[in-house]
Structure 1
């Protein structure tokens, strides 16, 4: 009898142990971020530690992925049967994944509603909206692009700020001095995201689109051909060879170009000399922040502001615990001090998409934002009115992700700047490539 009792007790203890272990086993949430810099990874890991200290249900596993590698990495993950629970990526990648049916939009909409749509800039919401209503991703942070220019040099020469096609081209001609290795402007002329981003603002200002309102590809439209022709003309006043974002940054910091197209991520390089530029193109100009201004609106047939919204998206999963964990971590990241700490990894580059945070004194108390002064608010103000190729007449075309992932716009530009194609030839080639990308 005593032995039976001992056996029963032992079984009960064993079952209790198994039950307890099962009940309190942590769910691992794999989170992919495009923030690959060492100092940013350190901040994110600190935030993960903070999140895990506040609850014991979920453990976050951080994976860093280059933005351009997201599509191929996800394809490999799908083949291997291992996909992340949550990704942080640009709008194009998220729209592409949403169009392919890979995202849990219900989970996204629940997080957006929990935050409150009224506390998210409408421009940011638009960039991640689904054609069927709701959203493909939770807006996280954003940047604005434009022309950064040497206001002191423009004033010396009596030039108008570079806000129109005419004033941009006139200034580029005026400053271009290739014999002394000084150039008029840097714009994207390589087959990369930078070329598409810089070109987009010119196209939008000329009412040139990739899609019409019915979703047809119209890259060979008269408006697009006119934009390509202008862009190729402007590229004559850039440094030799295909140019990317690094060329723009380095040459501007060294004072060898008076204008460059860049996002607000350049603010810390200019404002605090917080840069990995090592002087390859010349010594960095002193007090550059006092000599620099920013034209974020381009005017031609219409006004155009271009920027990017990064969002948090949830991959569909049969494991609801992982989905719930991803939602919990997403809400954690966009709340209060957690959000501010994340944004302060790259202030100016990472702008708050929540007005309540953008106006929070804690957020504004950062040396970079203070150095730029009143320009900071004006620079970030474009977030509410940014435009992109995937949005036409209030409609969203997530298929744009199939086009951007193949760098067709950049390749089109290179055919003009490197191979001497005409704008008409390049537009026809781009049209065919884009149509093929959607088949």
Structure 2
């Protein structure tokens, strides 16, 4: 399923859509058509993998034991959120709290007036706004209103072969120029310089493009709401993406899985991926382990020979940027403010390390500490064990410089549309994938980079018009 195209689309739900939403079951239950128990909080969590559901359940059980407040946990898939909310609105059975909510959905839910911002304001005040990364506060707020309580973040990173770069006399891929130079020079001897996302059906392609775009100051819209994907800054991003995809990356559709596999088997010298790659890169997950020739004898060989870049810059934006995702807790209208507040504050304090520990490589805390110890949670995070089949702290694998990059990156995360006050556009753009589709056509040679910029501009303008109806 995909997200709705507009607020109007969410409001105008048909019985067929509602029936589809109700039919969706997650972890043996569905959030629609449930009767609320006045003594129980209903929590939807987008952390829906079985091991994370079990870990969250154990965490919430400790909360119940401590407070006497019972919690009903419902794990949902991110792509199902719009339809499940539609159904819940119609049935009058909204959850009390949603956890692990991405920025785009925070804005969409606020656009429906479903967020209890008085309660979220109170939670942030009680926890202390200064204990959070400033960028997380900015991206989850609308003026003086806190739309959600930011929890953790992943960053989009460039992972590169330090050994190959050193042998070729190349600088780390921190700029457009360095990335392009390395991609061209290292495309040789059966190896590609980079493996770049081109899947038209996957948000991963959009995320990869946005990471490069923000690095050059390319924005989706300006502060007046005008789409700017054909601006000079964006044109340079389209130029770079087309150049990399057609001259330095494997041809054909490159997906989230294939890009990882190509880098892991030694077939590419660079990959743009999220920090969720880091445990797999270190050989801690058997079904996604590095398969390079050297990795057979040493599962950590690739991690030891890889460098990580968390921020890039372009010719029009020399200060650079970091792209990633911040996920949050938010309280919905109709929830009991006292109980919901206690739960979120617990998950952001005593229960916080266990929440982060479900996948520390992709859940870097944006609340770094508390009033007593400003580094409490970042210090705890560094000791958390990552991995699936083998578990180790990331600090046992990656050097102190890399760990420092990872810990400060969430405080630098930027995003399209939200700083310009146009965050409500993110959901429809994510759902309809105009960037990913255009990038795919650019990579296949169907479009020139100029045509790609013009096509993306038109398609996002059309989405914007539809959303404004």
Q: TM-score range by the shorter chain?
A: 0.7 to 0.9
Tell me the equivalent position of 2:330.
313
Q: In the TM superposition, what is the alpha-carbon distance from 1:252 to its structure 2 partner?
A: 1.9
Is it true that 1:355 corresponds to 2:368 in the alignment? yes
* Equivalent residues of 2:107, 2:424 under 8 A apart: yes
Q: 1:60 aligns with which of 51, 55, 71?
A: 71
Superposition pairs of residues 19-418 of structure 1, within 5 angstroms: 27-56=39-68, 58-88=69-99, 89-130=101-142, 132-177=143-188, 180=190, 182-191=191-200, 192-236=202-246, 237-277=248-288, 284=295, 286=298, 287-300=301-314, 301-302=316-317, 303-317=320-334, 320-321=335-336, 323-336=337-350, 338-356=351-369, 359-360=375-376, 361-366=379-384, 367-371=392-396, 372-374=398-400, 375-392=402-419, 395=421, 397-418=423-444
SS of residue in 1 equivalent to 2:271: strand
Q: Check conservation: 2:281, 2:290, Cα contact below 8 A.
A: no
Query: 1:200/1:37 Cα in 2 relative to 1: closer, same or farther (>3 Å)?
Result: same
Summarize the alignment of residues 400-439 of structure 1 with structure 2, pairs less than 5 Å apart: 400-418=426-444, 420-438=446-464, 439=468
CA–CA distance in structure 2, aligned partners of residues 266 and 176 of structure 1: 23
Q: Distance in 1 between matches of 2:237 and 2:57?
A: 44
What TM-score, normalized by structure 2, do the two folds share?
Answer: 0.80
Would you say how many aligned residue pairs link Structure 1 and Structure 2? 406
Give CA-to-partner distance per residue, 1:47-87, whole Å, 9 cap, x none.
0111111122x322222222233223322333444322222
Q: Partner of 1:144: helix, strand, or coil?
A: strand
Q: Give unpaired runs (5+ residues) of structure 1.
A: 1-24
Give, in angstroms, the shift of residue 339 of structure 1.
Answer: 0.6
Report the CA distance between 1:155 and its aligned residue: 0.8
Distance in 1 (alpha carbons) for counterparts of 2:90 and 2:242: 41
Q: Tell me the secondary structure at the aligned position of residue 143 of structure 1.
A: strand
Q: CA deviation at 1:229?
A: 2.2
1:234–1:153 CA distance, 2 compared to 1 (3 A): same
Q: State whether residues 146 and 262 of structure 1, in contact with CA within 8 Å, keep that contact through their aligned partners in structure 2.
A: yes
- C-alpha separation between the residues in 2 aligned to 1:315 and 1:419? 46
Larger Rg: 1
Structure 2, unaligned stretches of length 5 or more?
1-36, 385-391
Contact preservation (8 Å) 1:348, 1:376 = no
Residue 256 of structure 1 aligns to a residue whose secondary structure is: coil
Q: Give, in angstroms, the shift of residue 264 of structure 1.
A: 1.4
Distance (Å, rounded) in 2 between the aligned partners of 1:267 and 1:279: 11
Q: Given the superposition, is the C-alpha separation of residues 104 and 325 from structure 1 closer, same or farther in structure 2, using an over 3 Å criterion?
A: same
- Other-structure match for 1:18: none
Deviation at 1:291, TM superposition (A): 0.9
| Mapped partners of 1:311, 1:268: distance in 2 | 23
Superposed CA RMSD in Å reads 2.3
Counterparts of 2:332 and 2:208, CA distance in 1: 30
Q: Do 1:103 and 1:314's aligned partners in 2 also have CA atoms closer than 8 Å?
A: yes
